[in-house]
Structure 1
Amino acid sequence: MKYRVMMKFLLRYSMVMSIAVWSGVLYTGCGKDSPDPILPPVVVDPPGPPSSDVNIPEVDNDITSFMAKYNVPGISIAITRYGKLVYAKRYGFADKEAGEAVNTNHRFRLASLSKWFTSAAIMKLIEQGKLGFNDKVFGEGAILEEMYGSQPYGAYVRDITVEQLLHHTAGGWGNSSADPMFAERTLNVYDLISWTLDNRPLLNSPGTKFDYSNMGFSILCRVIEKVSGETYTEFVKENILEPSGITNMTIGSSTLSGRKTNEVKYYGLANANPYGYGDGVIERLDGVGGWIASPTDLMRFLVRVDGFPTVEDILNTATLNIMASQTPASNYACGFIVSGTGNWYHGGTLTGTRNWMVRTTTGFCWVILINTSATNSAFNTDLDKLIWPAVNNSATQWPDHDLF
């Protein structure tokens, strides 16, 4: 049944259209790019996940041009077609000062791509019958009861549901102004939630207005912990990562000295230190924006939650339908955006990090990870345009191999 339904779905959307809407993604850097030109080095990969031994000029030329235009140190990509990893390439430097080239084993900060994993973990709890999509989060008899903040709660707090946190319609705590996720940096994540409840009142009735909220997804991480009885990372690793064949994802570090094995070095804009979160903010972000991973591991995950019949999904069809559901308030689903043509996508930004992940209606998925960031809209627009020319061109010769 799943195969017939998805084949009808693929035929219906046989023409891929480029995503024209740029996600309201997390965290904007500041300043200007470094003026020093960076040319991608010619390198041989060290041991690790295989890279493509063929070239697709439409992909490679566009990426190297993008790097030259925006002075990008390093990029790593992975592309799947009908569930097969057909292209995995790296360009430029993981560490400019050391002359270390990016290889396909390198891990990058995911920033808001982390939310896709958090959403999948919530869906797994729903599928297991341990959590309801419309369950209340705060207050007597709710999931988190009165564990956080002072009583009585302010207006609207007791009305918030799991669904509203997933869809960023909880009524506030957004990143459009002063993002509470980056306030009070000396507090741990649990005390920060209490501080937010006490000091940042909701502005709208839950369910009525979209306001992209990092704090909302941090609360979802605490929901996962309360319902599962495990830490957030333990539950995600056991129920999402391991079933997807992923063993090398972890939560990153805020400091250069805490840089993980095979993690790239990050390059901020002028006067923007990518390791300026030395008080533990990256660790505090966990399922909001704290994961690090390689492009190949991201594709291992995405092909198992894409709803296509080519690789068995880790969530059933009914759960995936909930995950891809939208509200009248926006085109945001649960952890990602759904375009008008049915493509799924999300981006992520931290100072020194920019990335983009896509699942098309025609069976392609890809991710682009970058170890710098920019504030101008042209950078974002051009990043969105990468990969699409090759995907849309019926003459593109995609390899038949599978690099997974």
Structure 2
Amino acid sequence: MKKTYRSGICHFSVNPLKITKLITIAGLLLFASCKKDSASGTKTDTGTKTDTSTHTGPGTGTGTTPVPDTLIASKIAIAALDDEVNAFMTTYSVPAVSVAITKGEKLVYLKAYGISDPAKGTKAVISDRYRLASCSKQFTSVAIMKLLDQGKIKLEDKVFGDGALLGKTYGTKAYGLHITDITVDELLHHTSGGWGNEVDDPMFSNPTMTAAQLITWTLDNRPLDHVPGANYDYSNFGYCILGRVIEKITGQTYEEAVKTLVLKPIGIADMTIGGNTLAQKLSKEVTYFGQYGEDPYAYNITRMDSHGGWIATAADLARFLVYIDKFPVRADILTTSSLNIMYTGSTANAAYGCGWAINGNNYFHQGSLPGTATEQGRLDNGFNFVILTNTRSFKTNFDYDLDQIFWRAYAKNPTWSTDDLFIN
């Protein structure tokens, strides 16, 4: 495994409603990446047939209790969008893509492309679930903001040490310099002072340890690099800690707490934390395709719960976005105050809020793991978009072109449906 990690770079395109210029936010989103071997050169079927019927959903998270799907797929193609998706899939050997787009808080486009299981030739459908990778962090952030609205947490609360949220639950030694100074706010903004993704991300070490064991090991063995609050370094480990904070405050597992605080109130029933191995693949979950020798099933995804462990449909994420987007049609589940806090950067990095990258009034995030590349965006032009895939590529411009699927189609000014594909 490499000891340095790729940067996920997002861009927004030209239009009076958008950013006036493509901007690369260097070093903004640092996602986990493993050893890059030579490309396999395998050409994957990128057929564009889409699901056009309603489906039975995969259940409540266990994969055993079916629930009626509350979605229908788009029946009228938007050629501009289909062209961009097909070109992306061909260029980067992507087996499957799932896209959801909202306009004015209506779901106006929902489509599945390609093959969800390359070995079996299974056609992708809209109810397929994908690993979200770092698009999981936004659910952790919203859960913290919900606790903030409920008066159960303050952003200035200390995390470790006497009287702190987690006390001395973790670690076997006296805490190192400044560890007891770390606050919830600093973990949310990736300014805790250490444990970053740039070099030696703790979350990709000691794979057999539980989250609790890993936190103890890291506190004992990995001192901070900076004074908390002074430096931005994208930290998966910091969001692992936030998951344990949520557990301590709620008395629930992280997964159940997020379902209670965030998912159930907005009608999302089939998101869950994913498994690690192919044998642990859940119902309606796609099969992940590794490129360059990457094995998508070699990592402890379950331990990544609060920073990279969720699986979901594209429509799940689209529904999530319309309840936190500050637009007036659907009542947001957070107060205006908490939304403003969540979408505001730190003094160390004004371009990253609490789990969200910021570009003007556009808020977004990409995710990347072996076999997974994702993006969700809340846009100031009234649109939101979600793009999920079951592979990733190290070819130049992969992250950029993933982001540009929506923007290039949007620039062609297509006619969007006025119907709402959300049934409720």
TM-score by length of 2: 0.88
Q: In 2, Cα distance between the equivalents of 1:254 and 1:31?
A: 22
Cα root mean square deviation, aligned: 1.5
Q: Which amino acid aligns with 1:337?
A: A
Secondary structure at 2:287 match in 1: coil
Given that residues 25 and 112 in structure 1 are in contact (C-alpha distance below 8 angstroms), is that contact kept between their aligned partners in structure 2?
no
- Whether 2:33 is the aligned partner of 1:28: answer yes
1:186 maps onto 2:208 in alignment: yes
* Conserved? CA contact 2:40–2:293, under 8 Å: no
2:38 and 2:331 map into 1 onto residues whose CA distance is 44
CA contact (8 A) 2:51 2:126 kept: no
Residue 21 of structure 1: how far off its partner (Å): 2.8
Q: Relative to structure 1, is the Cα distance of residues 397 and 124 closer, same or farther in structure 2, using a 3 angstrom cutoff?
A: same
1:365 offset after TM fit, Å?
A: 0.3
What stretches of structure 1 move > 4 A for 4+ residues in a row?
43-46
CA gap of 1:247–1:355, structure 2 versus 1, over 3 A, is: same
Q: What whole-Å deviation, never above 9, does each CA across 1:121-162 have from its counterpart, x for those lacking one? A: 000111100100111111101111111102421001010000
In the alignment, what sits opposite 1:356?
Answer: 375
In structure 1, distance between residues paired with 2:331 and 2:181:
36
The alpha carbon displacement at 1:20 in A equals 2.7
Tell me the amino acid that sits aligned with residue 226 of structure 1: K
What are structure 1's unaligned runs of at least 5 residues?
A: 1-12
Offset of 1:392 from its aligned partner? 3.9
- Which amino acid in 2 is paired with 1:25? L
Q: How does 1:4-403 map to 2 (within 5 A)?
A: 15-17=17-19, 20-21=23-24, 23-29=28-34, 30-41=36-47, 42=49, 44-45=51-52, 47-48=54-55, 49-277=71-299, 281-330=300-349, 331-339=351-359, 341-393=360-412, 395-403=413-421
Look up the SS of the partner of 1:325 in the other structure. coil
Q: What count of residue pairs does the alignment treat as equivalent?
A: 387
Q: Which range moves more in the overlay, 240-249 or 143-152?
A: 143-152
Mapped to 1, the partners of 2:50 and 2:367 lie a distance apart of 27
Distance 2:223 2:347 in 1: 24
**Partner Cα distance (2:319, 2:258) in 1:** 14
Structure 2 stretches of 5 or more lacking a match?
Answer: 1-14, 56-70
- What SS does the corresponding residue of 1:386 show, helix, strand or coil? helix
Q: What is the aligned-residue identity percentage? A: 44
Instruction: Give the superposition deviation at 1:40.
Output: 2.7
Distance 1:325 1:141 in 2: 28
Q: What are the Cα deviations for residues 358-382 of structure 1, in whole angstroms up to 9, with x where unaligned?
A: 1111111001001001123311121
Aligned counterparts of 1:238 and 1:19: Cα–Cα separation in 2: 38
Which whole-Å CA distance do the structure 2 matches of 1:101 and 1:28 have between them? 28
**C-alpha distance in structure 1 between counterparts of 2:112 and 2:273, whole Å:** 22
Aligned partners of 2:273 and 2:310 also within 8 Å: yes
Give the equivalent residue in structure 2 for 1:10: none
Q: What SS does the corresponding residue of 1:388 show, helix, strand or coil?
A: helix
Gap change, CA 1:361 and 1:203, over 3 Å in 2: same
Alignment TM-score, normalising by the size of structure 1:
0.93
Question: Shift of residue 273 of structure 1?
Answer: 0.9
CA separation of 1:60 and 1:193: change in aligned 2, threshold 3 A: same
What do the CA deviations read for 1:378-402 (whole angstroms, capped 9, x no partner)?
1112112111133344x42110010
One-letter code aligned to 1:356: E
For residues 40-79 of structure 1, the C-alpha deviation after alignment (integer angstroms, 9 at most, x for no partner) is 3335456423111111111110110111111111100000
